[in-house]
Amino acid sequence: MRPQQISDTQINEFIVAGLREDIGTGDHTSLATIPADNRSRAVLKIKDYGVLAGVDLAERIFRHLDPDAKLTIHKPDGSDVLFGEIGFEVEANTRALLQGERLALNTMQRMSGIATLSSRFAFEVGDLPVTVLDTRKTTPLIRFLEKWAVKIGGCENYRWGLYDWMMIKDNHVDAAGGIRNAVERAHAYQKEKGLNLGITVEVRNLVELEELMQVGGITRVMFDNFEIPILHEAVAIVNGRFETEASGGITLFNVRKYAQTGVNYVSAGALTHSAHPLDMSLKIVRG
């Protein structure tokens, strides 16, 4: 379920950086109050309703701090969870548990919120031949976690950055002096650099779409903030020549209407920027 773009190295670097930020010169409270060889069992308590995400990451966090940590997973990534359920149990060195607690919870809450919202988007269009995509509207430095959560929730990842897909947007078109100039320069650049990247071109109206149809040579046309009746017409104009994508103002409440226009893709920044964290806690079990 983890996207192939996410490497073990990237995950490990995140864990090290996250722990360094939180622990700093030392978890002085735990160092002062907990014997070094003490071991405890803790449970992840779900205090909300949604889709759980980040279990695999939490396991890596605890095993980074204590290689002998043992997890019993009751609800793997992608599971529907209810208030009061237990996500997993972890037995480990007590200091390690307490040091990793906040990093694990913070990432799981954020990822689970995104996975939950993504699952709802996916459900809304589940019977339609359309794919819901995320965007680059993510939190800096944890984009990989947020896109991971989107996949867990049942939607798909769009480009991971400026490097793996060319997206000619309105600013590029205006700065380049028009759609034709922008597309032709994109092709020339790819040829010069030996690249073979997909090319999306954003159009703002049917006039720009007609110009793009004359230019051609792209992978996908993105209809930005099109009203539904105009979007129907735009899809008909393209008539399968390019992939089609609706974008701009897509929410859980209107995604189905956009999908019903016949577009191949719907991209929604809301998947990541509007998701609310799922509440959960990690509690040591006494006795």
The backbone torsions φ and ψ at residue 26, rounded to the nearest 5 degrees and listed phi first, read: 145, 150
Instruction: Say which residue the tokens 């007609």 belong to.
Output: 210
CB-count burial class (<10 Å; 0-12, 13-18, 19+) for 182: buried
Residue-wise over 4-20: b if at least 16 C-beta within 10 A, else e? eebeeeebeebbeebbe
**Which positions are annotated as active-site residues?**
102, 137, 169, 202, 224
Q: 93, 90, 60, 92: which is closest to 72 by C-alpha? A: 90
* Tokens, residue 231: 């979007």
* Residues ≥6 apart with Cβ < 8 Å to 262: 232, 235, 236, 244
CA distance 177 to 214: 16
Determine how many CB atoms are found less than 10 A away from the CB of residue 61. Answer: 26
